Copies of this chain bind each other. A is one copy, B any other.
Amino acid sequence: MSIISIIGSGGMAAAIGGLAAKAGHMVEVMSRDPAKAKVLADRIGDGVTTAAFGTAPVGEIIILAVPYAVVLDVVKQYGEGLAGKLLIDITNPVASDLKSLVTPQDSFGAQEIARAAPADAHIVKAFNTHFSHVLAAGSIESRSLDVFIAGDDVQAKARVSAFVESLGLRPLVVGQRAMARTLEHMCLLSLGLVAHSIKHTNFAIGVSLPS
């Protein structure tokens, strides 16, 4: 059992928070709108707490479940409250055309977050390749979802892998932080599938392996 702090109160916060509470983790919810945090905490389950946005999170693992458009400001606002913490970056820096990324060509979302966070925070990219309602369900076609994981710190990746596994999902480490750029591209892939061939969001990208 771990303590998970979730910053945000949208669909991804609800999905990850719901899975975490169900798996027996302690969950703390923080939203700029305290009423929304309360609603989400009550919805996620008994014993889920809320805390004031911007105060130091109690969690060992902190989920950055806010849109990419605001995540850098949020991380800066938390500042030293995130020192030494394991931050899971679930964001996708997608442009409004849904076909390109807003990040500079020589950077990517997780890199920008690392620059905004305290130097000793560990950034791990994960959960960004799924639609929230699919993630909330935890499986599709009775196959549990694959969660791709990228980050520089080996121990942090191992902790995120264990967390993912505790949720009933399959963790798949893909490399160092630089690989987060590739995971961010996978969001474009999903949006491209929605626009061009699949036409809905009830699907998951994953890996087929011989059993």
State the A residues within 8 Å of B (CB): 99-100, 105-106, 140-141, 143, 148, 150, 171-176, 178-179, 181-183, 185-186, 188-189, 192-193, 195-198, 202-211
Whether B188 pairs with A182 at a CB distance below 8 angstroms is yes
Whether B204 pairs with A208 at a CB distance below 8 angstroms is yes
Whether B174 pairs with A189 at a CB distance below 8 angstroms is yes
- Asked if A172 meets B198 with Cβ closer than 8 Å, knowing A140-B209, A208-B206, the reply is yes
What is the distance, in angstroms, from A144's C-beta to the closest C-beta of chain B? 10
Whether A192 pairs with B206 at a CB distance below 8 angstroms is no
Whether B186 pairs with A174 at a CB distance below 8 angstroms is no
- Asked if A208 meets B140 with Cβ closer than 8 Å, knowing A148-B189, A182-B185, A182-B189, the reply is yes
What is the distance, in angstroms, from A166's C-beta to the closest C-beta of chain B? 17
- Asked if A203 meets B207 with Cβ closer than 8 Å, knowing A105-B105, A178-B99, A181-B185, the reply is yes
Instruction: Find A174's partner among B150, B181, B192, B204 (CB 8 Å cutoff).
Output: B192
The interface residues of chain B lying within 8 Å CB-to-CB of A198 are 172, 207, 209
Instruction: Find A179's partner among B150, B181, B188, B208 (CB 8 Å cutoff).
Output: B188
What is the distance, in angstroms, from A18's C-beta to the closest C-beta of chain B? 20
Whether B99 pairs with A179 at a CB distance below 8 angstroms is yes
- Asked if A174 meets B148 with Cβ closer than 8 Å, knowing A141-B208, A205-B207, A206-B208, the reply is no
**Residue in chain B with minimal CB distance to A200:** B209
The 4 nearest A-B residue pairs measured at CB:
A174-B192, A175-B192, A185-B185, A173-B196
Could you list 13 further interchain pairs (A-B, Cβ under 8 angstroms) beyond the known A173-B192, A193-B207? Answer: A99-B176, A99-B179, A141-B208, A172-B198, A174-B189, A174-B193, A179-B189, A182-B186, A198-B207, A198-B209, A202-B209, A202-B210, A203-B207
The interface residues of chain B lying within 8 Å CB-to-CB of A150 are 192
**Residue in chain B with minimal CB distance to A129:** B189
Give me 24 A-to-B residue pairs in the complex whose CB atoms sit less than 8 angstroms apart, sorted by A's number: A100-B178, A105-B105, A140-B209, A141-B208, A141-B210, A143-B208, A148-B189, A171-B197, A173-B192, A173-B196, A173-B197, A175-B192, A175-B195, A175-B196, A179-B192, A181-B185, A182-B189, A183-B189, A185-B185, A185-B186, A198-B209, A203-B210, A205-B206, A205-B207
